Chains A and B, each alone.
Chain A
């Protein structure tokens, strides 16, 4: 089984590179083996695949995406890719039906030594706005495990590769930019922290626009 999931992971990474020639840009942090919560903009189902692709293999093995169980448990194929290949930390986004607090699930994954990839917008951004308001989960997670650093990650162009409703991707060059790590301040409140985190992510996007004109 291990060989099958490794092969599937490699195939997905090769395919992602074929489509996007994706490149990781480390701007303010380095790809070092330190426990982290990577938080990124979310426009496509392929978002965490791109982050995964540009992480060095040593870090990749210890980095798990946090994803909605409603989507990733729907079919056997999704379950295989989500859980088997990417080791996704699945959370139930529906407050009514869930039996366990998502923050506890994520904290447990952190305690087991994993780094996490989270999408604080909570859902895929299908609007024209560059970034939706953040849900508060990332704040609660940061308060539960304040020693883990948070790294903003801006994914550029993937939404153009496969816009919502299309099923044939168009090959375009994508970049994944990692910003400077941040931590929750001792006295920092929820709104202030979420605003700061969202600002850090937005700053990476505007830097990109400047660099590319």
Chain B
């Protein structure tokens, strides 16, 4: 067993232990407080824990599948997220080809470039080429109604759902001396820190939450949840230094950056949901809502984490 597999195995074991504890707690809460399924919070909690199991199993399979597995998994996440995002936009008939190009041209090309590790192109494909191509396609139809809004929405959809998400598998191609063949663990580090930060914000918020941080955007986000969640995610990130190329301090600082970006990512995506008058982006992940609801914090932290690591640690 390679060092990478040993570390991955230890991490999965820890995550599984955490989920077993959560499942047991959820079961006891249900027996005590909601035997007839009437307590919505507990029902939602248990639905979330079940979905977590499924997501962890899927992630584990992808990790074992290595580079191909991780790229395919996140390409599918991008597709599902883009489908949710575009559903909520003002896209009209005239944007049909621009949207078809976003789904069937830009998305596959972006992930192909990540696959062949063409950094110079995948880092500008969407911000430069799609940014210019999409409005051209939409303009050719000659429909000027809300043109700027429609074009901006398609571009945002691509940036959020494809560009940002693709930076998770892009971590696989960073070349870090002494860390060869273990980059999958960088993906695991990012995903574990960002998701744990979300969970811990939820837990701290439920336990101690008093002051709301942004009542208009997200009634469940509190100062106590934010501070407690970010601090404990930072601590967990530091504690995971052994599977990264970082020192304890570095791992903690990167985890802090990840948790902060994740928090604000969630806030931004809430603002979009409020604007569109929906509670969730979709319905495919029981208890969580849609793919974007689960990915929102990864979306904002992935490109930042990627560039921090690339700038200071990578040779390329």
Contact = CB atoms under 8 A, between A and B. Distances in A.
Interface of A: 21, 23, 157, 160, 163, 166, 168-173, 212-213
A12 B81 CA distance: 22
A172 B102 CA distance: 13
Nearest to A163: B93
Contact of B103 (A21, A157, A160, A170): A170
A212 B89 CA distance: 12
10 contacts: A163-B96, A166-B96, A170-B91, A171-B82, A171-B103, A173-B83, A173-B84, A173-B87, A212-B277, A213-B277
Contacts of A169: 100
Most A-side CB within 10 Å, residue of B87, B99, B284 = B87
B130 to A, nearest CB: 16
Given A21-B83, A23-B283, A170 B99 contact: yes
Interface of B: 79-80, 82-84, 86-87, 91, 93, 96-97, 99-100, 103-104, 276-278, 282-284
Q: Nearest 10 pairs between A and B by C-beta?
A: A213-B277, A173-B87, A170-B99, A171-B83, A168-B100, A172-B87, A163-B93, A166-B96, A170-B100, A23-B283
Given A21-B80, A168-B100, A160 B91 contact: yes
B96 A170 contact: yes
A160 B87 CA distance: 9
Q: Binding site of B, secondary structure by majority: helix, strand, loop or mixed?
A: helix
Given A21-B282, A157-B87, A168-B97, 19 more contacts: A21-B83, A21-B283, A23-B283, A163-B93, A168-B96, A168-B100, A170-B86, A170-B91, A170-B96, A171-B79, A171-B82, A171-B103, A172-B83, A172-B86, A173-B87, A212-B277, A212-B278, A213-B277, A213-B278
Contacts of B97: 168
A172 B290 CA distance: 13
Contacts of A170: 86, 91, 96, 99-100, 103
Contacts of A168: 96-97, 100, 104
A180 B100 CA distance: 36
Nearest to B91: A160
A169 B276 CA distance: 23
B244 to A, nearest CB: 35
Contacts of B283: 21, 23
Nearest to B93: A163
Nearest to B86: A172
Nearest to A157: B87
A21 B277 CA distance: 20
B282 A173 contact: yes
A145 B49 CA distance: 48
Nearest to A162: B96
A213 B83 contact: no
